[in-house]
Chain A
Amino acid sequence: MTQDPNPHEALASIQAARSSVGRSMDYPVWYDALYGAVCGLLVASQGLPTLWGLIVLPIALGGLAFMVTSWRKRLGWWVSGYSPKRARWVAFGLLAVFFGLIGLSLYGRYVGPWWLFIVSGVIGFVVAIAASRLWMRVWLKELAEAPQ
C-alpha cells in the first residue's frame, strides 16, 4: 500500500488491524470467576450490616483493581465495558440488572428476609459471568467489522 489512496486496501488493512487485537484473548477461567465474585460481592454488600458492608466493599474494589492490572499486564491493551458502540449496551443491561439486585439486597436488609443478599449475590455472580462472555462476543464481532 502506498501514500496514494487505495480505499479498498486501506479499509482491508484497518479491518485486519482491528481484528488482530482480538487474537490475544487467551485469558484464564479464574478471570471470569473473579469478575463474577467481585460483582456478586458488590451487590450483596448492600444487604449487609454497615460494618460488614465496609469490610466487603474494599475487598470487592481491590479485586476489581487486581483484575484490571493483571489484564493489562497479560494482554497489553484495555477496553472499558462502556467504550465500544455496540457492546456497551450489554454493559448497560448488566448495570440495570445490578441496580435491581442492589434493590433486592436493600429490601432484604430493611424489610426482610435477611438472606436476600445471598440470593442477589449469587444471581449477580452468574449474570456477571454470562454478561461478560456475551459482551466479549459482541465486541469481537464489532472489531471484525468496519469501524463506524
Chain B
Amino acid sequence: MSAVPVFDPVIHAPGRLQICAILSGVDDAEFALIRDRIGVSDSVLSKHIKQLEEAGYVALTKAPFDGRQRTWVGLTAKGKTAFAAHVAELTRLAATVAQTV
C-alpha cells in the first residue's frame, strides 16, 4: 500500500532528510556512520537527531563497544510512516513540476 502524500517540515530540512533516508534503508545505524555519511559535525547531527526524536521519528539506544558507549539511531514506526508520506509528497510535487515545465 502506498503512503498518503504529506509534506513534513521536520523531515524536509536537508540534514534531517538525509538522516531519515539513511535510516530508511537499515534497522539502525551508529551515530558516527550517519555523521560521516552526511558530512556534518557531532553537534549539528545531535541537534538534528534531537529534533527528530522530539517528533517521535527516531529512537536512540546506547550500546558499549570496545569499552566505550556508542549511540545507535533507528526510525520508529511513526518515523517510517512520516518519511514514506514525505517521499510520496516529494514524488507528487516532482511529477507536478515536470508536467508544468
Contact = CB atoms under 8 A, between A and B. Distances in A.
B83 A147 contact: yes
Interface of A: 1, 3, 5, 7-8, 10-11, 13-15, 17-18, 20-22, 24, 72-73, 75-80, 83-84, 142-143, 146-148
A20 B22 contact: yes
Contact of B84 (A18, A24, A148): A148
Given A18-B24, A76-B29, A78-B26, A13 B18 contact: yes
B22 A7 contact: no
B25 interface: yes
Interface size class of B (residues with CB under 8 A): 20 to 34
A17 B20 CA distance: 9
Contacts of A143: 25
A10 B22 contact: no
A83 B75 CA distance: 12
Given A1-B14, A8-B97, A146 B24 contact: no
Contacts of A1: 14
